């Protein structure tokens, strides 16, 4: 019995090493763990083992079974990851060297992705709102629970203009206006250009686009938020993308989350586009803080809601395989014109 078990173990190790598809893996699973599989056979064979050896043989069979189950689960995960990587590698990638057809015009990739998202949210009952780029301190900060001396203001280096107004640092600046305009219930998205006085790199620009979203109604919960985020991402990518949700702090949410996307440039192994972390902060979100609802004229005892602030320019990077965010503002028509067919 012992030899049989150890030779089955060797056979499993050899077969699993060569399994490179979900179909092959399933065949191995059935051969080893199925009703008529090797391990069931071993268990049946226990009745012929002498009583004094039964306990040890039983333990060895169980250990083999656990090993086979764990080996199959590990392999299934790596096959799935490999398939995801394959999809990322074969997705149409932006190529800055393709010669352009300068005769015909084309939309900027941000316009393309913005319109696509507007279509997705429109089909889910959201209205599309607009808001100025020059705003006052109240709408950008105070109305969303960021008072004058609040340390959260340090998170965003603001461009102030001489009359005391400022260049919108976040699309959250429109939250209060939209709540006051529609009251509750409401579903709205509001894309817009944001400005922050920060140094640039492959994933940071000082001028970039966000798309804010808000849904307010009776009994809106985190599960509604997760549903809308998932639907949005699967519609945009038309394939599975790996995301992670982790706690995040924003004065205007309670609780707040950071939603990161697995870097679609390197597949998560690390590259300059994701600052070598394999992840890119994409869409912070959370349940709207009661103070923000109250300031927008909505009773937080009666209504709850979620809000998100999608990094639209980063989403375009991930969708189109653009390695450097600065390319979007480059004005390089040769490079940008290739997006018209996306
Ligand atoms: C905000 O701006 C919040 N207003 C978002 C929010 C809205 C949270 C509603 C909760 C509820 P943050 O500063 O992290 O958060 O920016 C949001 C997203 O914008 C980031 O995840 C990122 O995708 C994008 N972003 C931020 N800064 C830059 C930058 N310098 N360059 C490019 N994209 C940026």
Pocket of ligand 1 contains residue 192 by CB under 6 Å: no
Atom 26 in ligand 1: residue holding the nearest Cα:
311
Q: Pairing relation of β-strands 186-195 and 285-288?
A: unpaired
Give the CA distances from residue 10 to residues 5, 28, 67, 255, in Å, rounded to whole numbers and listed in that order: 9, 13, 11, 50
In 148-303, where do the E strands start and end?
A: 166-167, 186-195, 207-217, 243-247, 253-262, 279-281, 285-288
Pocket of ligand 1 contains residue 175 by CB under 6 Å: no
CA–centroid distance, residue 283 to ligand 1 (Å): 7
Closest to 340 in 3D by CA, of 147, 162, 106, 142? 106
Q: Pairing relation of β-strands 243-247 and 186-195?
A: unpaired
Q: Where are the domains of the chain?
A: 2-90, 109-336
Rounded Cα gap, residues 281 and 263, in angstroms: 10
Pocket of ligand 1 contains residue 282 by CB under 6 Å: yes
Torsion of CA 318, 324, 328, 330, to 10 degrees: -170
CA–centroid distance, residue 156 to ligand 1 (Å): 9
Instruction: Say what the pLDDT of residue 342 is.
Output: 46
Pocket of ligand 1 contains residue 289 by CB under 6 Å: no
CB atoms within 10 A of CB 3: 7
The secondary structure element, H or E, covering residue 309 is: strand 304-311
pTM of the model: 0.77
Rounded Cα gap, residues 233 and 241, in angstroms: 8
Q: Which residues of the chain have pLDDT under 50?
A: 341-342
> What CATH fold (topology level) applies to the domain 109-336?
BirA Bifunctional Protein; domain 2 (3.30.930)
Give the CA distances from residue 330 to residues 248, 268, 327, in Å, rounded to whole numbers and listed in that order: 32, 26, 5
Rounded Cα gap, residues 211 and 312, in angstroms: 6
């Amino acid at each position: 019995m012992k030899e049989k078990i150890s030779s089955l173990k060797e056979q499993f190790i050899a077969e699993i090493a060569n399994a490179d598809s979900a179909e092959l893996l399933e065949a191995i699973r059935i051969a080893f763990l199925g009703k008529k599989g090797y391990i069931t056979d071993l268990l049946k064979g226990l009745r012929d083992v002498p009583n004094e050896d039964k306990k040890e043989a039983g333990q060895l069979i169980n250990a083999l079974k656990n090993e086979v189950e764990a080996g199959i689960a590990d392999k299934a995960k790596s096959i799935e990851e490999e398939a995801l990587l394959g999809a990322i590698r074969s997705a149409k990638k932006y190529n800055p060297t393709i010669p352009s057809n300068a005769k015909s015009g084309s939309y900027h990739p941000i316009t393309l992705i913005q319109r696509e998202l507007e279509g997705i949210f429109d089909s889910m009952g959201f209205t599309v709102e607009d808001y100025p780029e020059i705003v006052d301190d109240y709408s950008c900060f105070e109305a969303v629970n960021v008072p004058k001396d609040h340390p959260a203001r340090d998170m965003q280096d603001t461009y102030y203009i001489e009359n005391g107004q400022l260049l919108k640092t976040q699309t959250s600046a429109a939250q209060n206006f939209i709540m006051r305009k529609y009251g509750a219930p409401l579903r709205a998205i509001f894309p817009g250009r944001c400005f922050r006085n920060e140094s640039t790199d492959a994933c940071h620009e000082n001028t970039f686009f966000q798309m804010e979203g808000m849904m307010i109604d009776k009994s809106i919960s985190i599960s509604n938020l997760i549903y809308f985020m998932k639907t949005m991402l699967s519609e945009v990518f038309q394939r599975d993308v790996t995301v992670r949700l982790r706690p995040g702090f924003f004065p205007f949410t309670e609780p707040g989350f950071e939603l990161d996307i697995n870097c679609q440039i390197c597949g998560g192994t690390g590259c300059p586009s994701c600052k070598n972390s394999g992840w890119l902060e994409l869409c912070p979100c959370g349940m709207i803080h009661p103070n923000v609802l109250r300031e927008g004229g909505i009773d937080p005892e009666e209504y709850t809601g979620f809000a998100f602030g999608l990094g639209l320019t980063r989403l375009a990077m991930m969708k189109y395989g653009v390695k450097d965010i600065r390319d979007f503002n480059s004005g390089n028509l040769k490079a940008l014109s290739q997006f018209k067919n996306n």
